[in-house]
Chains A and B, each alone.
Chain A
Amino acid sequence: MRVRDVDKEKLVIATAIDQIVEEGFQGFSMNKLAKACSISVGTLYIYYKDKDDLIQKIGAIIALKFFTGTIKNFSPKMTFEEGLWKQWENRADFTMKYPKEVAFFEIVKHSPHGEAILDSIKEFSDFRQIMKEFIENGLRNKEIVPLTFEVFWSIAYGPLYTLLNLHTEGKSMGGKPFSLTKEMMQEAFKATIKALKP
């Protein structure tokens, strides 16, 4: 009888993430992945129908981990400033803890797999609802100015993600070594809040 081998599954997922981050979708194949994991191609196909199925399943695992991490100790009832800071902390923690998963998700997000992954996670609509409620509370309590959603998002999270990208690369403009500190995050956060306040 075939038994699910959790360790093997974990190895397959970690190796697939490595290979896709390094070589992209084009260079990636089920055969190559099976070889790198020292398992037979047949075993790999037991778990996944094909390459697309594998990419979507791994993407869904990462996305769910990200959403769960983002709303940890967060409530949409928090004041806007308190809640956004929690979001910043949670998003920064996730990016620093799982840089490869984040890189993988960035590749997947902009591919046709992106929508399929989000549609496959039932928790995603809860996440969207929580974030919507948070912004609506901020608007109702006059803590933020009304903005086009995309403009709001780019101001609220853009500075954080720019700094996190520099941190992941380990260098800033002109190749200067860079490591993001809590102080820098707070500095950027103050400027962000100032921009969003009425």
Chain B
Amino acid sequence: METNLDTIHIFKTNIGDQDPNCPVRQKLNAHSAIQQWSIDCDDVDCVLRVVSETLMPETIIDMITEFGHECQELD
């Protein structure tokens, strides 16, 4: 089934760390309300893409900044 585009959230971050076990990645992996996520570390904006039917962008931003990273929604 095709993903509902409204459930995809895009953020500009500074998560340059590619370690698959870094705390922010562990948090995203473990979150039950996140269906899918990815970080494009090749991009200057280290774009974070989160698919979640319930989470609001603000909640995701709080989740990332809690680990000391910058996170801003990309329009």
Residues of A within 8 A of B (CB): 1-4, 29-31, 40-43, 45-46, 49-51
User: Hey, which chain B residues are within 8 Å of A42, CB to CB?
Assistant: 10, 73-75
**Would you call B25 an interface residue if the criterion is a C-beta within 8 Å of the partner chain's C-beta atoms?**
no
Residue among A3, A4, A29, A30 with the highest chain B CB neighbour number at 10 A: A30
Cβ of A46 and Cβ of B10 under 8 Å apart?
yes
Cβ of A1 and Cβ of B6 under 8 Å apart?
yes
User: Hey, which chain B residues are within 8 Å of A41, CB to CB?
Assistant: 10, 45, 47, 74
User: Hey, which chain A residues are within 8 Å of B65, CB to CB?
Assistant: none
Q: Could you list 16 examples of A-B contacts with CB < 8 Å?
A: A1-B5, A2-B6, A2-B8, A4-B5, A30-B40, A30-B43, A31-B43, A41-B45, A42-B10, A42-B74, A45-B10, A45-B47, A46-B10, A49-B49, A50-B40, A50-B42
- Bound Cα distance from A49 to B8, whole angstroms: 10
Cβ of A29 and Cβ of B43 under 8 Å apart?
yes
- Determine the residue in chain A with the shortest Cβ distance to B44: A31
Total A-B pairs in contact (CB under 8 Å)?
45
Residues of B within 8 A of A (CB): 5-6, 8, 10, 38, 40, 42-45, 47, 49, 73-75
- Bound Cα distance from A4 to B6, whole angstroms: 10
**Given A51-B40, A51-B43, 13 additional A-B pairs, CB 8 A:** A2-B6, A3-B5, A31-B43, A41-B45, A41-B47, A42-B74, A42-B75, A43-B75, A46-B5, A46-B8, A49-B40, A50-B38, A50-B40
Cβ of B10 and Cβ of A30 under 8 Å apart?
no
User: Hey, which chain B residues are within 8 Å of A51, CB to CB?
Assistant: 40, 42-43
- Bound Cα distance from A30 to B38, whole angstroms: 15
- Determine the residue in chain A with the shortest Cβ distance to B11: A42
- Determine the residue in chain B with the shortest Cβ distance to A49: B38
